[in-house]
Amino acid sequence: MASPMRSLFTDPARYLQSFRLFLANSTEHQCMHGFIQRHLPAVIASIGNGKSTINILSVGGGAGEIDLLVLSKVQARYPGVPINNDVIEPSADQICKYKERVAETSNLENVKFTWHVETAYEYESRMNAEKKSKKWDFIHMVQMLYYVKDVPATIRYFHSLLEAQAKLLIILVSETSGWENLWKKYGSSLPLDDLCSYVSSADIKRILDSAGLKYQVHELPSSMDITSCFVEGNKDGELLLDFLTETCEFSKTAPPELKRQVMEELRKPECSEERDGKVLFNNNLSVIVIEP
């Protein structure tokens, strides 16, 4: 009998709701902020040397929170230099939020924003069709490589767009995270469709090594409070479970045995730690900085 489980991506509104709850319940953005404050200045230190304009491409820019932090660091390094910031983001809803955020942010006079409501693959196809290969001084792909069909090809394509002193920055879940453990064990039982695949820093390092590319890795410790997942009927807990399993209404549609195993797995030390009565899921991230 066909499973009633379906991918969370078949319901974009529920996906966004669960994603925003994930951000609220995790240190995801805080740990990215910490990296941007402490380490990004060194990463971008020479991307704009001798340039009259700096070109930045954000692949999967979401609602722009991380993008604007990145821009503030580039502005601090290259005061007054005009910046073109192009954003590839398939969610019109997220782009709306991004535009609102830009409107509320001061000191962006020297930044020209261009939004492309499309996926990374659609962008690549359009550029190839138009025979364009615009080069970029900095490209970043934050938490988006799960949503591309061909990860090696996507990295290869965007890497080919780097200027001589540019950098490609990727942020995604670390191989030390609970995600790695949960997905390696149960990914095959979950309704992952073409819209999402499970990749971690281990996969990206293998791809880069086989392509002979030079890179550095920074590990960012992060956690997510999933205590509510263990409260029967808790709405937030159900949404977080959906996000963890990438399954729409997981607690209602998963076979009882699978649900029991996943709930048990989430409490194991490989996935989470229990502290002060809370269950904290290991949400560690890796930042991978790739040379041209």
Residue 189's φ and ψ, nearest 5 degrees, are -90, -5
Whether residue 28 is annotated as binding a ligand: the answer is yes
72-77 contacts at long range (C-beta below 8 A, 24 or more positions apart): 72/107, 73/36, 73/40, 73/41, 73/44, 74/44, 74/47, 74/48, 74/138, 75/107, 75/110, 75/111, 76/41, 77/41, 77/44, 77/45, 77/48
The CB-side HSE value for 50 (13 A sphere, CA atoms) comes to 4
Mark the binding-site residues, compressed into ranges.
Answer: 28, 283
Mark the binding-site residues for substrate, compressed into ranges.
Answer: 28, 283
